[in-house]
């Protein structure tokens, strides 16, 4: 079935450093969503990207959707301890099916 590959699996940074996680699909995605899961919590929706080449910003977070709509990235500028958690990308299943398929996530830890 549809696979959404996410790298890296883990990332440890010093507070103030930047962080980027990447999401790749073997097929074109109609849209991609990003979620954040705090330790011990549940995933919370951050954003959805729909258009080719789309870039959206939320304060220190920048989300991009590739021109071919097969990859996406989340970049955090000047990380803070509140950014700790696991970041997931998610997209529709293969063939535009009604599934919502998640990547394995990138676990971010921030050293104060």
Partner 1 sequence: DGGITQSPKYLFRKEGQNVTLSCEQNLNHDAMYWYRQDPGQGLRLIYYSQIVNDFQKGDIAEGYSVSREKKESFPLTVTSAQKNPTAFYLCASSIQVRNTEAFFGQGTRLTVV
Question: Which of 16, 41 has the CB closer to partner 1?
Answer: 41
Q: Residue 70, interface with partner 1 (CB under 8 A)? A: no
Question: Which of 35, 65 has the CB closer to partner 1?
Answer: 35
Which tokens go with 82?
Answer: 């509140």
Q: Residue 1, interface with partner 1 (CB under 8 A)? A: yes
Question: Which of 43, 66 has the CB closer to partner 1?
Answer: 43
d(CA 104, CA 37): 12
Q: How far is the CB of 2 from partner 1 (least distance, A)?
A: 9
Binding track over 27-46 against partner 1, x by CB under 8 A = ---xx-x-x-----xxxxx-
Which tokens go with 88?
Answer: 């997931």
CA–CA distances in Å: residue 89 to residues 8, 51, 92, 93: 12, 16, 11, 13
The whole-angstrom distance between residue 54's C-alpha and the CA centroid of its chain comes to 14
Q: Give, in degrees to the nearest 5, the angle at Cα 89 between 4 and 44.
A: 145
Binding footprint of partner 1 on the chain (CB under 8 A): 1, 6, 9, 30-31, 33, 35, 41-45, 48, 50, 88, 90, 92, 96, 98-105
């Amino acid at each position: 079935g549809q696979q959404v590959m996410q790298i890296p699996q883990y990332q440890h940074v010093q507070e103030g450093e930047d962080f980027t996680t990447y999401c790749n699909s073997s097929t074109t995605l109609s849209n991609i969503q990003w979620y954040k899961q705090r330790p011990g919590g549940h995933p919370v929706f951050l954003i959805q990207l729909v258009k080719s080449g789309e870039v959206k910003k939320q304060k220190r977070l920048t989300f991009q959707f590739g021109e071919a709509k097969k990859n996406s990235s989340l970049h955090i500028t000047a990380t803070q301890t509140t950014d700790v958690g696991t970041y997931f990308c998610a997209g529709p299943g293969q063939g535009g099916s009604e599934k919502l398929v998640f990547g394995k996530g990138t676990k971010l830890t921030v050293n104060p």
